[in-house]
């Protein structure tokens, strides 16, 4: 099946359209249809295989009930990566990986085979119709806060955790890590 290509648009004058110095980014992964762990593995491989992207690590997997939605439970994680892409270009890569996995966008908060949300792009603050950074609701979701704490515990405050304590989430103990960093090539 042919899928439409993502069109990249400039979202903020401070985010350049050219390749740049490496930036630490965090991406949330979520899915509640199909085989989520397999979709995550394919997405991480696709990300790491993209020019200008290096996946560094992935959090543990978490199971959560749908938030402001219906459907089966979600599998969630957060990955850390470095990128020399611009924020809009990285967003385009994420959206293409979602399309490649079979993601459809028929209505808001629908069940999905893969959801990749750009949470943080270094310290960038972007407001546009296509992209908002940091992600505008990252601190309202247990399925982002708990995995993100594995990388950046100081970013998650007790007040944030208190605000999501009614959201059902549990950490899963997988048989193997979702992502293993490769040693640098000589």
- The one catalytic residue in 112, 137, 141, 180 is 112
- The one catalytic residue in 3, 20, 115, 171 is 115
Q: Is 166 a catalytic residue?
A: no
Q: Is 100 a catalytic residue?
A: no
Q: How many CB atoms lie within 10 A of CB 112?
A: 23
> What are residue 57's DSSP bridge partners?
80
The 3 state secondary structure assigned to 93-122 is HHHHHHHHCCCCCCCCCCCCCCEEEEEEEC
Q: Is 112 a catalytic residue?
A: yes
Among residues 24, 16, 85, the alpha carbon closest in space to that of 50 is found at 85
**Region class of 136: left (phi > 0), else alpha (psi between -120 and 50), else beta:** alpha
- The one catalytic residue in 103, 141, 166, 180 is 103
Instruction: Give the Cα separation of 5 and 47 in Å (integer).
Output: 16
Length of the chain: 186
- The one catalytic residue in 3, 24, 117, 180 is 117
Q: Is 20 a catalytic residue?
A: no
- What is the set of active-site residues? 103, 112, 115, 117
């Amino acid at each position: 099946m042919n899928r439409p290509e993502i069109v990249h648009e400039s979202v903020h004058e401070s985010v350049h359209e050219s390749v740049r110095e490496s930036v630490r980014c965090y991406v949330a992964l979520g899915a509640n249809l199909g085989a989520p762990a397999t979709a995550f593995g394919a997405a991480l491989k696709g990300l790491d295989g993209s020019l200008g992207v290096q996946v560094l690590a992935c959090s543990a997997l978490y199971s959560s009930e749908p938030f402001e939605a219906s459907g089966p439970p979600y599998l969630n994680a957060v990955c850390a990566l470095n990128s020399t892409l611009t924020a809009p270009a990285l967003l385009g890569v994420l959206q293409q990986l979602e399309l490649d996995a079979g993601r459809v966008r028929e209505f808001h908060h629908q069940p999905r085979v893969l959801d990749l949300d750009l949470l943080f792009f270094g310290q960038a603050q972007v407001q546009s119709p296509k992209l908002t950074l940091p992600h505008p609701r990252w601190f309202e979701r247990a399925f982002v806060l708990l995995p993100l704490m594995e990388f950046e515990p100081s970013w998650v405050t007790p007040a944030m955790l208190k605000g999501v304590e009614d959201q059902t989430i549990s950490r899963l103990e997988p048989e193997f890590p979702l992502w293993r960093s490769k040693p640098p090539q000589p």
